[in-house]
Amino acid sequence: MRARGRILGLLGLGVAFLAEPLAAHGVAQGDAAFFLSNRGPAIGPFLYLGAKHMFTGYDHLLFLVGVLFFLYRLRDVVLYVSLFTLGHSVTLLAGVMWGVRANPFLIDAIIGLSVVYKAFDNMDGFRRFLGFQPNTRLAVLGFGLFHGFGLATTLQEYTLSDDGLLTNMLSFNVGVELGQMFALTGVLIALAYWRTREGFLRHAHVANTLLMAGGFTLMGYQLVGYLVSAP
C-alpha cells in the first residue's frame, strides 16, 4: 500500500511540475549563453545538453511513461521506443538544419495532447467510448515527430553557428537518446516493481487519470501562451 501511494504521489508531482512555465522546454541561462557563443564542433557539451534536456522535458517523459505503462515484453518496449526515437530525430534535425518552423506554443500543445491520447488509450477509452482503436504504432511515430519539433523550436530561439552545426545537432540528438535511455530505465524498473504489487491494475486507472490531467495542464498552458502572444 505504501509503495503504491509513493508511486501515485510521484505521478501527482509530475502533474504539478507541468504548471511551471519552464517545465517542458525551458533552457537554463548558462545553457542559452553557450548556444549563442559556441563556434565550431562541440561534441561533449552538446551530448550533455541533449541528455539534460530530455531529463528536464517532463512532457516527453510523461508521454513515454504512458507508452510503456502496459508494455510487458522487451521487444515491444524496443519497438515503441524506436518508433518514438525515429520520429523525434527526424523533426529535430529537419527543424534545426533545414529551418522548418512552426509556432512553438501550438507544437507544445500537441505534445500535451500526446500525453492525453496515451493515457486515454491506456484506459481503453477509444474502444469503450468511440468504438474504434487507433493504430498505436503510427500514433507513437506521429507524436514522436511533434516531440522532435518541440526540441527544434527550443533551439530555433537561438542563432546557432553554422560552423560544426551538423556535428553539434547529431551530438545533441545522441545526448537526447542517452538521456531517454537512462530515464526509461528508471521508469521500467519502477513499473516492473509496481506490477508485482497487489492492486496494480486496480490503480492503473488512477495513474492514467493523473497522466491525462498532466497532458491537459500542459495543453492549457501552451494554448494560453499562444493566445497571449498572438498579434
> Would you state the pLDDT for residue 107?
95
> Would you state the pLDDT for residue 201?
86
Q: Taking the CB of residue 74, how many other CB atoms lie within 10 A of it?
A: 9
> Would you state the pLDDT for residue 1?
47
Q: Are 158 and 111 in contact (CB under 8 A)?
A: no
> Would you state the pLDDT for residue 27?
65
What span, in angstroms and rounded, lies between the C-alpha atoms of 192 and 186? 10
What span, in angstroms and rounded, lies between the C-alpha atoms of 18 and 59? 8
Chain centroid offset of residue 34 CA? 23
Q: What is the DSSP letter of 163?
A: T
> Would you state the pLDDT for residue 18?
41
Burial environment of residue 87 by CB neighbours within 10 A (0 to 12, 13 to 18, 19 or more) = buried
CA-to-CA separations, 95 to 74, 101, 147, in angstroms, rounded: 31, 6, 11
pLDDT in tens, the chain (231 residues): 444 444 444 444 444 444 444 344 556 677 878 888 889 999 999 999 999 888 888 889 999 999 999 999 999 999 999 999 999 999 999 999 888 888 999 999 999 999 999 999 999 999 999 999 999 999 999 999 999 999 899 888 888 888 999 999 999 999 999 999 999 999 999 999 999 888 898 899 999 999 999 999 999 999 999 999 877
What span, in angstroms and rounded, lies between the C-alpha atoms of 195 and 134? 25
> Would you state the pLDDT for residue 8?
47
Strands (E) in 20-164, as ranges, are: none
What span, in angstroms and rounded, lies between the C-alpha atoms of 206 and 215? 14
Chain centroid offset of residue 150 CA? 9
Residue 143's Cβ-side half-sphere holds a number of Cα atoms within 13 Å equal to 27
> Would you state the pLDDT for residue 208?
96
Strands (E) in 34-136, as ranges, are: none
Domain residue spans in the chain?
Answer: 2-229
What span, in angstroms and rounded, lies between the C-alpha atoms of 153 and 74? 32
> Would you state the pLDDT for residue 73?
93
> Would you state the pLDDT for residue 26?
58
Q: Given the C-alpha cell 522535458, which residue does it identify? A: 57
Q: What's 173-213 look like in SS3? A: HHHHHHHHHHHHHHHHHHHHHHHCCCCHHHHHHHHHHHHHH
Chain centroid offset of residue 96 CA? 18
